[in-house]
């Protein structure tokens, strides 16, 4: 894969300002499937925004890594070009430069491939030199060795509810309240280490690992005595930060039932949870009824499906489909939905960011 580039008309104006001393501030990089002209304000067919990593500087050269992930694409498309946007001090955000691929690449929505690009900007007496270097494609088979390693280490994505005191396998275990763990552990991750070399491997001696305020790590030391394992006591390494709870913003026509709350929160693993015991205050005739809206940072990449229990005015109850959509909307599929119908739902998903 190779790329060629050109400045847009507004990009040339900004390049002149940069040579005169203005600062180059890249605001975003987008991917498109069209053929953009030099006088365009955006890519001809914008498909998705790339994820930008932290920029680095070496002398008069700045490097910005950006990643295109198929998992974040809303629809499949043929990638033909990248658009670099920058802030012009006089006119605001502009399409600064366009990089065009030598041949299109198919991007599959929800796929597992990702591609990293490095944008390098060098400012010198001869002007501004800009290059875009693809760092190669990370495809699904490249991830298999890592998946196998994680499968041996991370015992379960679900919360572990067994007796932690009789575990025989080392690993990382996700737990909530567990009767056989220290009383203060209500939420977090447990690191269990069995073997003679735990202190050395995890550097748990004097001045060793202390974890962070975002995780809760417990260490259980073990050593062989006459061929039989003998485990030491639990040792606390760091405190957990319990997730902050927020009031769920309800839509118009939706209210709480008496003496109830509607909450949402995100845990340290980036999973968003929510619950709602509500009721309708007006009648809805649309096939999909908006119940609440999650804010940015608490939304899924793609629509997530769950169920909602409905208790209707007629005295009957039923189960309906509910969606949590990328715009943050929590919607139930039921029509018509009469006023004073009660509903109960909860769910969780991985947030987009």
pLDDT value, residue 267: 74
Three-state DSSP state, 154: strand
- Do residue 48 and residue 120 come from a single domain? yes
**What are the two backbone dihedrals, phi and then psi, of residue 3, each rounded to the nearest 5 degrees?**
-135, 145
Question: In 10 A of CB 80, how many CB atoms?
Answer: 20
Please give the pLDDT value at position 177.
Answer: 60
What three-state secondary structure class fits 186?
coil
pLDDT tens digits in sequence order for the chain, 353 residues long:
677 888 899 988 888 887 777 777 888 899 999 999 999 999 999 999 888 766 676 776 777 788 888 878 888 999 999 999 988 989 999 999 998 888 898 998 877 777 878 877 766 555 555 555 555 444 444 445 544 544 444 444 456 666 766 665 666 666 666 666 665 555 556 666 555 455 544 444 433 333 333 334 454 544 443 444 445 556 555 445 567 889 999 999 999 998 888 999 887 667 888 989 999 999 999 889 999 999 998 998 888 888 888 888 777 888 888 999 999 999 999 888 999 999 988 888 887 75
Task: Decide which of 119, 141, 163 is a domain's last residue.
Answer: 141
If asked whether residues 22 and 137 sit together in one domain, one would say yes
Are both 136 and 169 inside the same structural domain? no
Distance CA 213, CA 239 (A): 6
Write down the pLDDT at residue 128. Answer: 52
**How far apart, in whole angstroms, are the C-alpha atoms of residue 340 and residue 216?**
43
pLDDT of residue 32: 94
Q: State residue 241's pLDDT score.
A: 58
Measured between alpha carbons, how far is 350 from 353 in angstroms, rounded to an integer? 9
Residue 163 domain flag: yes
Whether a cis peptide bond, with omega within 30° of 0, leads into 258 is no
Rounded Cα distance, 298 and 188, in Å: 19
**Are the C-beta atoms of 254 and 226 separated by less than 8 Å?**
no
- C-beta atoms surrounding 201 within 10 Å: 10
Q: How far apart are CA 308 and CA 294, in angstroms?
A: 17
> What is the b/e burial string over 43-73, where b = at least 16 CB atoms within 10 angstroms of the residue's CB?
beebbbebeeeeeeeeeeebbbbbbbbbebb
pLDDT, position 233: 56
Say which residues have a Cβ less than 8 Å from residue 30's Cβ, sequence separation at least 6: 42, 43, 46, 47, 48, 49, 50, 82, 83, 85
Asked if residue 191 lies in contact with residue 219, where contact means CB atoms within 8 angstroms, the answer is yes
Same domain? For 116 and 168 the reply is no
User: What is the pTM for the complete model shown?
Assistant: 0.41
In a domain, 293, yes or no: yes
**Looking at the structure, do residues 10 and 128 belong to the same domain, yes or no?**
yes
Q: Which structural domain range is residue 104 located in?
A: 3-141
pLDDT at residue 77, rounded to an integer? 93
Name which of 347, 315, 313 is nearest 330 in CA terms: 347
Q: Quote the number of domains for the chain.
A: 3
Q: For 106, how many CA atoms within 13 A lie in the half-sphere containing its CB?
A: 2
């Amino acid at each position: 894969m190779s790329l060629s580039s050109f400045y847009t008309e507004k990009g040339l104006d900004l390049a002149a300002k940069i040579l005169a001393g203005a600062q180059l501030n890249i605001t975003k990089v987008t991917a498109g499937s069209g053929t953009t002209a030099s006088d365009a304000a955006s890519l001809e067919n914008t498909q998705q925004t790339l994820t930008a990593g932290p920029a680095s500087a070496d002398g008069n050269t700045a490097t910005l890594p950006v990643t295109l992930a198929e998992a974040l694409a809303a629809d499949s498309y043929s990638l033909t070009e990248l658009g670099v946007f920058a802030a012009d001090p006089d006119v605001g955000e502009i399409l600064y430069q366009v990089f065009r691929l030598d041949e299109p690449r198919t991007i599959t929505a929800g796929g597992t491939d990702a591609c990293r690009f490095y944008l390098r900007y060098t400012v010198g007496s001869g002007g501004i030199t800009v290059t875009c270097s693809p760092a190669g494609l990370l495809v699904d088979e490249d991830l298999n060795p890592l998946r196998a390693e994680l499968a041996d280490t991370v015992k379960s994505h679900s919360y572990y509810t067994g007796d932690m005191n009789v575990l025989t396998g080392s690993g990382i275990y996700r737990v909530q309240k567990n009767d056989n763990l220290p009383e203060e552990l209500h939420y977090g991750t447990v690191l269990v280490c069995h073997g003679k070399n735990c202190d050395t491997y995890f550097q748990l001696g004097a001045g060793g690992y202390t974890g962070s305020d975002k995780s809760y790590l417990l260490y259980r030391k073990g050593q062989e005595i006459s061929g039989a394992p003998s485990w030491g006591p639990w040792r606390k390494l760091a405190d957990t930060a319990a997730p902050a709870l927020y009031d769920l913003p309800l839509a118009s026509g939706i209210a709480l039932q008496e003496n109830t709350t509607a909450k949402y929160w995100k845990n340290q693993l980036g999973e968003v949870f929510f619950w709602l015991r509500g009721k309708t205050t007006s009648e809805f005739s649309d096939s999909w009824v908006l119940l609440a809206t999650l804010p940015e940072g608490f939304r899924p990449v793609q629509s997530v499906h769950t169920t909602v229990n409905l208790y209707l005015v007629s005295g009957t109850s039923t189960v309906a489909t509910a969606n949590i959509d990328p715009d943050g909307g929590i919607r139930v599929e039921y029509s018509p939905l009469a006023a004073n119908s009660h509903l109960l739902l909860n769910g969780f998903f991985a947030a987009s960011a």
